[in-house]
Every structure is written in structure tokens, then in C-alpha cells.
Amino acid sequence: MEGGYQQLEPGVTAAFMIVYFIIIAVFYIYMAICLQTIAKKTNTDNGWFAWIPILNVILMLMIAKKPLWWFILILIPIVNIVISIIVWMAIAEARGKPNWLGILMIIPIANIIIPGYLAFSE
């Protein structure tokens, strides 16, 4: 194929997609377990909301004791970043941890570690 794009074999592409799907599924399961554990430790009802994509945001608002209409704010670009930080700060406070942990949720690796810390620490 002269002058054209190189093409990956369909099997290689499928393998990459399968690995990508597994990684995404593992992170989703991890976050759901963390959120459900945080809900349990903060005595928030409906911890099973953590497993359902839109309801997990509602659960976060319930844990943070924020009004449910904030869900609409989470749908607005740029505003969603600020609201998410405020919600995670309130979740950290609900767990008795320093609220600056919520600010760390915008840092890529920290946003994987912080929910586990909030869920599984005393």
C-alpha cells in the first residue's frame, strides 16, 4: 500500500479493544465499591446507587448533603468541574477527613487513590 495509511489487523484492534474494556470495567467496579463503602460508612441510604451510572452522581450528592438539583449543574461544562470538587470536599468532610482531599480529585492519579482512601480508612 504505497502512500496510504498502515492498517492494523482486525485481530490486533479487537485485542486492544478487549484490554481497554477490561481496564475501564475494573476502574468502574473499583469506584462503585468505594462509593458504596463511603455511603455505608456515612449511613447514607441506597448505597446500591453506586452501581448505576446516573444514580451514582445522585448518591454522591446525598453523601455530600447537597441539594439534588445540583445534578443539573454537573451537566454544564466547566461548572461540572467546580461542582465535582465541592461535592468531593463535602464527601471527605462527611468521612471526617480534611476537605482539601476533594481538590486533589482533579489530579489524574490521585483521583484513583482518594476514593479508596475515603472508603477504606478509619
pLDDT at 13: 86
Output phi, psi for 99, to 5 deg.
-70, -15
pLDDT in tens, 43-96: 999 999 999 999 999 999 999 999 999 999 999 999 999 999 999 999 999 999
pTM: 0.86
What residue segments make up the domains of the chain, in order of their start? 10-120
pLDDT at 1: 52
Contact 63, 44 (CB under 8 A): yes
Write out the DSSP string of 44-85: -S-GGGGGSTTHHHHHHHHHTT--TTHHHHHTSTTHHHHHHH
Residues 6+ apart with CB under 8 A from 7: 1
Q: What's the rounded Cα separation, in Å, for the pair 102 and 88?
A: 4
How sure is the predictor about 8, in pLDDT bands with cuts at 50, 70 and 90?
confident
